[in-house]
């Protein structure tokens, strides 16, 4: 293996049904890391979560929260009140997902200008 290379072998080789591919798929959803990051400080009601994120439709937020719940990354709590109150909170695996989300944010902080510059430069392949 080359110096600085990462050995992904213990995590799978990104074929169907391997853990690495399942984890990578989480980041393919635009809103999933954003929602997880917004829930980092504790439970939130969907309306507050939507306002704090901005730019996400109610439908997409609901779909994202349902997926996070199905994947065991958030817990949904429904309170028997009138009107009913619902809150979402990260589970331990959801909290653990903050580590790669923060790493990706750090990468974006360091390299965002490169990407922005590349998008602003006319494509030389045309």
Q: Where are the domains of the chain?
A: 31-120
Mean local confidence (pLDDT), 33-59: 96
Q: Is the pLDDT of residue 123 over 70?
A: no
Q: How many whole angstroms separate alpha carbon 60 and alpha carbon 17?
A: 25
Name 95's Cβ contacts closer than 8 Å, sequence gap at least 6.
40
Q: How confident is the model at residue 57 (pLDDT cuts 50, 70, 90)?
A: very high
31-120 has which CATH code? 1.10.10.10
More confident site: 106 or 116: 106
Nearest to 73 by CA among 19, 33, 102: 33
Percent of the chain's residues with pLDDT above 70 = 83
CA atoms within 13 A on the CB side of 111: 8
- State the pLDDT at residue 29: 86
Q: Is the pLDDT of residue 121 over 90?
A: no
Q: Is the pLDDT of residue 103 over 80?
A: yes
Q: Is the pLDDT of residue 43 over 70?
A: yes
The pTM of the whole model exceeds 0.85: no
H or E segment and range at residue 74: strand 74-79
């Amino acid at each position: 293996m080359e110096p600085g290379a990462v050995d992904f072998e213990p995590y799978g080789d990104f074929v169907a049904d391997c853990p690495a591919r399942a984890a990578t798929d989480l980041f393919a959803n635009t809103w999933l890391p954003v929602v997880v990051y917004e829930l980092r400080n504790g439970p939130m009601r969907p309306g507050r979560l939507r306002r704090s994120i901005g730019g996400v439709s109610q439908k997409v937020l609901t779909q994202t929260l349902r997926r996070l719940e199905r994947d065991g990354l958030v817990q949904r709590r429904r309170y028997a009140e009138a009107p009913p109150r619902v809150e979402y909170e990260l589970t331990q695996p959801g909290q653990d997902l903050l580590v790669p989300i923060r790493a990706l944010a750090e990468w974006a902080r360091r390299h965002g200008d490169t990407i922005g510059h590349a998008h602003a430069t006319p494509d030389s392949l045309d």
